[in-house]
Amino acid sequence: MSVPELLYRYSAGERNFRGITLIHGSLRGAKLGGIDLSRAELVGTDFSHAVLSGANLSETNLRNVNLSHANLFGAFLSGANLFHARMQAINLTEADLSGACLANVHLQDALMHLTCLTEANLKGADLTGAHLCGAHLWKANLCHANLSGADLCDVNLCEANLYCANLDTTDISETVLTGAIMPFGVSHE
């Protein structure tokens, strides 16, 4: 599908774009709230500054996409592949990223309040200065992640893997760490 066709059909009221293929397209600044792009192939697409609040991107291939400064408030991205995505200053408040692959993503200064990241793979992710207050990271893989300066207050990190993670100046007040593997490989009691 082409970008002009998608935008035309969306403006005509269509919301179901399940399983489409749109590789390296530019949807920069597009307003696509509530769109269903589940199981789509969107590799390398530019969604920077786009509005995708309430969108369904579950099980979508989003490798190498640019979602910097995008608004995905309340979006569904469970099982999505976001490997090596650029997501600086993204709004993922109340989004569902359970089981998503976020390995090596750039999430600096991201807003992720009350975000569900249960069993998500964030290995090597850069979450410098990210705001994750109240997020759920149960069994998440944060091995080698950079969480320096991040706000992890009131976060559920039960059974999460934080091996070799950078927690310098990270706020972990009221954080639940039961069974988590800490940066030096020791399990938290």
- What would you report as the CA-atom Rg of the chain, rounded to the nearest whole angstrom? 16
* C-alpha torsion sign, points 14, 18, 22, 25: positive
3-state secondary structure of 10: helix
Measured between alpha carbons, how far is 75 from 13 in angstroms, rounded to an integer?
Answer: 19
Separation CA 26–CA 137 (nearest Å): 31
pLDDT the model gives residue 187: 73
Kind and range of the H or E run holding 11: helix 3-11
pLDDT digits (tens, 9 = 90+) for 1-34: 999 999 999 999 999 999 999 999 999 999 999 9
Question: What phi, psi does 25 have (nearest 5°)?
Answer: -80, 170
What would the pLDDT profile of 61-70 be if each residue is shown by its tens digit? Answer: 999 999 999 9
CB–CB of 43/21 below 8 Å? Answer: no
In sequence order, the 6+-apart residues with CB closer than 8 A to the CB of 51 are 30, 31, 32, 33, 70, 71
> Using one digit for the tens of pLDDT, what is the confidence trace for 87-137?
999 999 999 999 999 999 999 999 999 999 999 999 999 999 999 999 999
Which CA distances in Å does 103 have to 41, 111, 143? 18, 18, 10
- Cα 154 from Cα 22, distance rounded (Å): 38
DSSP code of residue 26: B
The answer to pTM > 0.85 is: yes
Has residue 189 got a pLDDT over 70? no
At residue 8, φ and ψ (nearest 5 deg) are -65, -50
